[in-house]
Structure 1
């Protein structure tokens, strides 16, 4: 099972990178993507002044969406893959939109401190979602038990994914702004 999760995690990591590249290039040729992204982030401006509230919002958003992506994987793993594609695409658009304004190094510095934790945690959660899709398929067509796999995935989520996403949210709310302000 660990080999399957590792392989799926690596495959989803590649999908994330490809999606980020596509998002980057799409934003280069479609300025409306950047405008939509700016409007989205403007909605968070008020929260920037309260890092504790910002951290809680980031954590709840990432933890909730990761759990949904994982559990929705029972539908043959489609949703977690789409979730990784969407997140990679958004990262690519952000890099494309902010690079002319900030420079590529500042953009990377704004993403890296929390992204090094957040992105792998989300991808691992989605890998478990794909795995649950496979287990659901086996349960549906081979009569295997499914519940024990869902319980196992939730335990991994609670023991590993949630703490890592919490730390990433703390870093994103408190450390990333400091890094960006220094550059």
Structure 2
């Protein structure tokens, strides 16, 4: 049962993310009138995070920011997956918009180098966390109708979150802080 539910939840997560990634990249990013205010808003939001120039501090900031997003993806399942879906589609849209916009300005190579090295691990963690969120939503739904135990499901998934998602996020933050900037400088 777990494997089937997990596979379906990952597929749903990927479908939502990819759909909104493509909307961000192909619909909004090429339209400068639509993209520019959104890019400015994203830059302002990122600026508000006060990211450090020290790679070690930056790594911790990125890790905590991504951990917060992953927790929303997972625990958002407690409200029938509404929060999980919203966080997932928002991240898909923003990443698609930024990558599409960057590709239009700087080319595909820089765009890919800026996201792929750490994104492999970060996005994997997000997809796993969102799949867990959708599984939790299913469990809440089943419990409401008398055939599930959402607390037990949350506990089991929480242990997997700690042993799988958190290490992936830590690795992604390390790569994003120490390796991605070096690679970006090499292609600029």
Shorter-chain TM band = over 0.9
Structure 1 residues 28 and 161: alpha-carbon distance in aligned structure 2, compared to 1, 3 A threshold? same
Match of 1:175 among 150, 154, 179: 179
Structure 1 residues 144 and 42: alpha-carbon distance in aligned structure 2, compared to 1, 3 A threshold? closer
1:25-60: CA deviation from partner (whole Å, max 9, x where unpaired): 21322021122223334446751x211111101101
Contact 2:72 2:87 in 1 (8 A): no
- Please report the TM-score for the alignment, with normalisation by the length of structure 2: 0.90
Name the CA distance, whole Å, in 2 between partners of 1:153 and 1:168.
Answer: 21
Match of 2:39 among 10, 19, 34: 34
Match of 1:140 among 137, 144, 168: 144
Gaps of 5+ in 2: none
Alpha-carbon deviation of 1:88? Answer: 0.4
> Are 2:97 and 1:93 aligned?
yes
Gaps of 5+ in 1: none
Name the CA distance, whole Å, in 2 between partners of 1:97 and 1:40.
Answer: 17
1:66-115: CA deviation from partner (whole Å, max 9, x where unpaired): 11221120111121111110110010111122223321111111100000
Alpha-carbon deviation of 1:155? Answer: 0.2
Cα RMSD (Å)? 1.5
- Please report the TM-score for the alignment, with normalisation by the length of structure 1: 0.93
> Are 2:56 and 1:52 aligned?
yes
Name the CA distance, whole Å, in 2 between partners of 1:180 and 1:44.
Answer: 21
Q: How many residues align?
A: 182
